[in-house]
Amino acid sequence: MQVHLNEDERIDQLYSKGIQIIQSKTVFSFSLDAVFLADFVRTTQHKTKQIVDMCAGNGAVGLFLSEKTGAHITMVEIQTRLADMARRSIELNDLTQQISVVNDDLKNASQYISKDSVDIVACNPPYFVNYQTSEKNPNQYLAIARHEIATNLNEIVSSSAGLLKMNAKLFMVYRPDRLTDLMTALRNHRLEPKRLQFVRPRITEDANMVLVEAIKDGKPNGLNVNRDIITYDGDDYTDEVKKMLYGTNR
C-alpha cells in the first residue's frame, strides 16, 4: 500500500517481522530498545485480546507486536507528528483492522480505553528526569521522547495500572540507573515485578538497558532475573540480536 511521505521521511524495515515503518531522523527513529521490548513481551494466543503501546512514538513497538499476536493494539502518543507517522505506518502494513492510534496525553487514556480491560501494556518511556539543569536536545520531538517533559514515571505506571485487568501485565524497557525508581513506582501502583532482563552493549561492559515485566495485583516476590542480552560481539551484532532484527543470525 502506498502512503504519503513528508520530505524528511523514509521507510525502514524490520526484516524479522516483515514490518515497514516510517522514520525521520529529524523527528524520531526507533532504536534497539523498541526491538528488545517487543521481543521481551509475552503474549498468550487466546487470552491476549487488548494491548496498549504506551508512549508509542512512531509506533515501532506496537507494529512489531502485531506479528506475534492477533490482539487489538492501541497506541497512545501525545505528539501529533509522531502519532500521524504511526497511523501512516499502520496503513502501510495494512494493519488498520488490528491497530488504532490515540493522539492524547496518556493521563487521558482511560477516556478511550476502558479501565481494567487491557491484557498487556508495553511501554518504552522517556528515560531521563526533567531537571531544570538537564541538558536537553534542542529538537523538541527528541527532547520529549527522552526527558520527562510531557509525562513522568509515576504518571506512566499509574495510567498503565488503571488500564490493566487483574493479573494482566506491564512490560517496560528502562535505564538501569533508574531501576529503583521503577520498582518503587510499580509497587506503589499494585504492580509486582516478576521478570527482569539486563541488556549490555558488550559482554565486558555494564548494562545500559533493563527490561521489566510486572503483574497487576501479583503476589509479592518471586522475581526471575533472565540471562543478559549482549548487543555486540566486537563491532557486529550478536547472533541473538541479529535474529531479532533480521530473522536469522547471519
The residue with cell 509479592 is 220
Q: In this structure, are residues 88 and 4 in contact, taking their beta carbons and an 8 Å threshold?
A: yes
DSSP string, 115-184: TT-EEEEEE----B---TT----SSHHHHHHHBTTS--HHHHHHHHHHHEEEEEEEEEEE-GGGHHHHHH
- For the residues of 199-215, what is the DSSP string, one character each? EESSTTS---EEEEEEE
Count the neighbouring beta carbons within 10 Å of the beta carbon of residue 204: 7
Residue 151: band (very low, low, confident or very high) from pLDDT cuts 50, 70, 90: low
Write the pLDDT tens digit of every residue in 78-108: 989 999 999 999 999 999 999 999 999 999 9
CA 46 to chain centre: 22
pLDDT score of 25 more than 80: yes
* Percent above pLDDT 90 for the chain: 72
Position 249 confidence tier, pLDDT thresholds 50, 70, 90: low
Average pLDDT value for residue range 192-218: 97
- What is the torsional sign of CA 73, 214, 192, 207? negative
Strand partners, 174: 210
C-alpha grid cell, residue 50: 487488548
Which residue's entry shows cell 502518543?
A: 77
C-alpha Rg value of the chain to the nearest Å? 17
Q: What is the mean pLDDT of residues 229-247?
A: 94
CA–CA separation, 139 and 204 (whole Å): 33
Interval 152-171 mean pLDDT: 95
With residue 165 as reference, give the H or E element that holds it.
Answer: strand 164-174
Stretch among 8-12, 71-75, 83-87, 170-174 having the lowest mean pLDDT: 8-12
Assigned architecture for domain 10-245? 3-Layer(aba) Sandwich (3.40)
Residue 7, CB-side half-sphere exposure with 13 Å CA sphere? 0
